[in-house]
Amino acid sequence: MNWTDWTLKEKIGQLIVVRASGFLFDHQIRYPLWEAPEKPLKHWLKTLNLGGVILLGGSAVELAARTQQLQGWSQTPLLICADIEEGVGQRFSGATWFVPPMALGAIARDNLPLAERYATEMGEITAKEAIALGINWILAPIADVNNNPENPVINIRAFGETPEIVGALVKSFIEGAKKYPVLTTAKHFPGHGDTATDSHLHLPIILHDLERLENIELPPFQSAIAAGVDTVMTAHIRIPAWDRKNPATLSPQILTEQLRQKMGFEGLIVTDALIMGGITQEASPEEVAVRALVAGADILLMPPDPEQTIEAVYQAVRSGRLSEARIDQSVEKIGQAKEKLGLFSQTVSTLDLEALSTESARLSVQTMVKKSLKKGGNLPLKIENQQPKKTLIIVNDLLNCDFLDRACPSVLIPKSFGYDVELRDQRLLDHEVSKDSEIVLQIFIRGNPFRGTAGLTPKSQSFYHQLFQNNQIKAVLIYGSPYVLDWFLPLFSDNLPWIFSYGQMPQAQAIAWEELLDLAKPSQQDSDVFI
């Protein structure tokens, strides 16, 4: 990459990663505020010399066509990234969907070497499938230590609650991914685990002293750096112990002094998304972009308007606020990363369907689900055929639950045993459940961006109390947050059958129901449906 011949604006373009839909057509776009339609997106890639694209949405097969299309529009090979912390299938249907990282942390508490092996497998399979689809930059692993049960956004996305377990599994994931030509990312520096605020909505503040930060928050990032992580993503959080004024994304003390100088990180520093509420409240989008670069960031992820961002950074260089040498440093690092990936020597590749969701990958997921499963009460559940039966499924958000459809195991299996199915949003629990039915309660609750809470709402807690007082609950299956399970456990009688799974995906649902009902090994046809 002969970047020395570029204009200043072409160099600045390399520092920007824009968001795009993984779907091929404009009418499929799901987040129009963040994902540009084809005409402006194609214009940006052809004329602005952008550095990369972050993708969300679409099937795995469609994504392969999409990444080739985007690379074809760009004058310089693109970094193409995705938030695939739980495998490619978490975001792009058809590929392998792993357990949430905290499931491996649960295994690690009893058997750390086994959990490390699973984390290595997870990194390796994720990288292999990513490359097959044209993704060359994995925005994982999460190096946050989730030691706050009220954390609404990290939650089970973290590997665990202690720096020792998180550091070990972060290292193993990176080592697995390094077997393929992809970039890995440790996030969210310097540690988003002990917050009760979602930085997608507001700016969290962490009030810990330096000793606590150095003992708990920083060690997993040190492990990631030692393992050769390629990029570190900043957190939109304020930590007064280091910088009373600036959030980490805009803080020279945190990005340059801590990460670069004290911790010795030489790779790429990428901001978290610059459209998040935790950072947009600080200044205008253009000012935020300039301040992030002044602080030490190399890549600006998802600025609202790349043209305005380039102009703002250009003017900052002309005014002397930033030097062109500073821009050149980041461009050189980006070029080195692209060279490492072989982007300048690659020909257009075709989709390798055989690399996706292989039998061995699915068996790995199955093993991880079973090893991290929790259960109690009198199992298996004994079904009384003469009684009216219902499974009540409650989710965080009915409009955003990719793990549920009419053919998923949590619906299909109980239906096959004569259960009626009722689906509710936990924010809409106003009317009572009929008292003449026995209920198998299924709850899908976990931390995720933009929800503001990782647990149960006060209204839902009152609703559950009433169900238990009515003596209607005959079994409970909880998928997602172990902190939700902790809330329910005092309500369970010693005999009540219950199952907890960190995973919410169909494969985890099937395993949970098989444990609940002690199903014999299904036929191959049933296995294809359920597992």
Q: What is the pLDDT of residues 127-147, one digit of tens each?
A: 999 999 999 999 999 999 999
Q: Active-site residue among 83, 144, 192, 200?
A: 200
State what percent of residues in the chain have pLDDT above 70: 95
Q: Are 92 and 66 in contact (CB under 8 A)?
A: no
Residues 6+ apart with CB under 8 A from 363: none
Q: Which tens digits make up the pLDDT trace of 191-204?
A: 998 887 777 777 88
pLDDT band at 400 (very low <50, low <70, confident <90, very high): confident
Residue 268 to residues 98, 276, 331, 392: CA-CA distances in angstroms? 27, 21, 10, 47
Q: What is the DSSP code string of 104-135?
A: HHHHHHH-HHHHHHHHHHHHHHHHHHHHHHT-
373-530: CATH topology is: Rossmann fold (3.40.50)
Buried/exposed 399-417: b ≥16 CB within 10 Å, e otherwise: eebebbeeebbbbbbbeee
What is the predicted pLDDT for the residue at 351? 66
Sign of CA dihedral 462, 475, 511, 144: positive
Question: What is the domain partition of the chain in residue ranges?
Answer: 3-355, 373-530
pTM of the model: 0.94
Distance CA(268)–CA(51), nearest Å, equals: 13
What is the predicted pLDDT for the residue at 526? 42
pLDDT band at 70 (very low <50, low <70, confident <90, very high): very high
Q: Which amino acid is at 511?
A: I
Is 202 catalytic? The answer is no
Average pLDDT (30-43) is: 94
Residues 6+ apart with CB under 8 A from 42: 73
Q: Which tens digits make up the pLDDT trace of 493-525?
A: 999 999 999 999 999 999 999 999 999 654 333
Q: Active-site residue among 144, 243, 272, 298?
A: 272
Place of tokens 């002397």: 320
pLDDT band at 449 (very low <50, low <70, confident <90, very high): low
Architecture, CATH, for domain 3-355: Alpha-Beta Barrel (3.20)
Average pLDDT (184-192) is: 97
Q: Which tens digits make up the pLDDT trace of 464-481?
A: 999 999 888 999 999 999
Q: Are 60 and 89 in contact (CB under 8 A)?
A: yes
Q: Which tens digits make up the pLDDT trace of 84-123?
A: 999 999 999 999 999 999 999 999 999 999 999 999 999 9
* Parallel/antiparallel/unpaired status of strands 473-480 and 231-234: unpaired
On the question of pLDDT at 205 being above 50, the answer is yes
List the structure tokens of 409.
């195991």
Give strand ranges (E) for 202-266.
231-234
Q: Are 444 and 466 in contact (CB under 8 A)?
A: no
What is the predicted pLDDT for the residue at 531? 42
Distance CA(315)–CA(282), nearest Å, equals: 20
Q: Are 140 and 182 in contact (CB under 8 A)?
A: no
Average pLDDT (317-336) is: 97
Is 209 catalytic? The answer is no
Distance CA(273)–CA(187), nearest Å, equals: 12
Q: Which tens digits make up the pLDDT trace of 350-386?
A: 567 788 999 999 999 999 999 999 999 999 999 877 7
What is the predicted pLDDT for the residue at 515? 97
